């Protein structure tokens, strides 16, 4: 039952994103497909990627369903208004732009991508701490911080430098496949390697779509 609830939550999130299509590039789609691989793992995609892919019927995004799965928002209309805010509206965002640009130039990254990751990870809050212990702007885990030589993950400059380097490592590892690299940033490269792509984790599936939505909006 818990797994079913998570699935419905993911589908409702997808429908919410679809309903905002005029504000997003063509990546958002009105259709979601699923297929089961040889290991019995269910995959969700926005295009049919297998001969066994079948279209998933999206449940109605009514007020009752939205409040059930997104209790943090008083209504779907409120969610829409928050989602349509300009990406430049966050109070801390502009002050980090110079360091983001400098860091991305050093590591050969698109600064819009790094900004999208920061937006999704912490909302540009340098003191953010996740329930799992990830810290700072780019939400570095303690072990990752140590491996990257980040002494203070709450220092914005160190965090951006470490997070950008880690993102670059994931892009190199997965041959610049952006979806795979983002999934690896969220779930770890081993999980992406094991599943041969984006792992079938609700959190990771949603994370990749969310970052890509931000990325496309920053670019355009």
Residues 140, 166: contact at Cβ < 8 Å? yes
From 9, 121, 190, 203, active-site residue: 121
The terminus-to-terminus CA distance of the chain in angstroms comes to: 40
- Of 186, 136, 187, the closest CA to residue 162 belongs to 136
For 97-163, the DSSP string reads: HHHHHHHHHHHT--HHHHHHHHHHHHTT-TT-B-TT--BTTTTB-HHHHHHHT-S-TTSHHHHHHHH
Angle (CA) 76 207 64, round 5°: 25
> From the CB of residue 143, how many other CB atoms can be counted at a distance below 10 Å?
9
203 counts as catalytic: no
Which residues are known catalytic residues? 121
């Amino acid at each position: 039952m818990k797994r079913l609830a998570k699935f419905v939550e993911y589908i409702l999130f997808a429908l919410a994103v679809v309903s905002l299509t005029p504000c997003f590039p063509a990546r958002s789609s009105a259709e979601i497909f699923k297929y089961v691989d040889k290991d019995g793992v269910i995959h969700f995609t926005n295009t049919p990627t297998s001969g066994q892919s079948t279209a998933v019927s999206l449940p109605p995004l009514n007020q009752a369903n939205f409040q059930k799965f997104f209790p943090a928002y008083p209504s779907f209309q409120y969610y829409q208004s928050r989602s349509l805010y300009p990406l430049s509206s966050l109070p801390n965002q502009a002050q980090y732009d110079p360091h983001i640009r400098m860091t991305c130039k050093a590591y050969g990254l698109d600064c819009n991508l790094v900004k999208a990751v920061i937006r999704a990870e912490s909302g540009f809050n340098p003191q953010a701490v996740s329930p799992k212990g990830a810290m700072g702007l780019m939400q570095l885990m303690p072990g990752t911080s140590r491996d990257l030589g980040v002494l203070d993950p709450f220092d914005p400059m160190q965090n951006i430098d470490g997070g950008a380097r880690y993102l670059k490592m994931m892009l190199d590892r997965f041959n610049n496949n952006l979806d795979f690299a983002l999934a690896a940033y969220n779930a770890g490269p081993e999980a992406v390697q094991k599943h041969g792509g984006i792992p079938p984790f609700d959190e990771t599936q949603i994370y990749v779509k969310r970052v890509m939505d931000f990325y496309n909006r920053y670019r355009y």
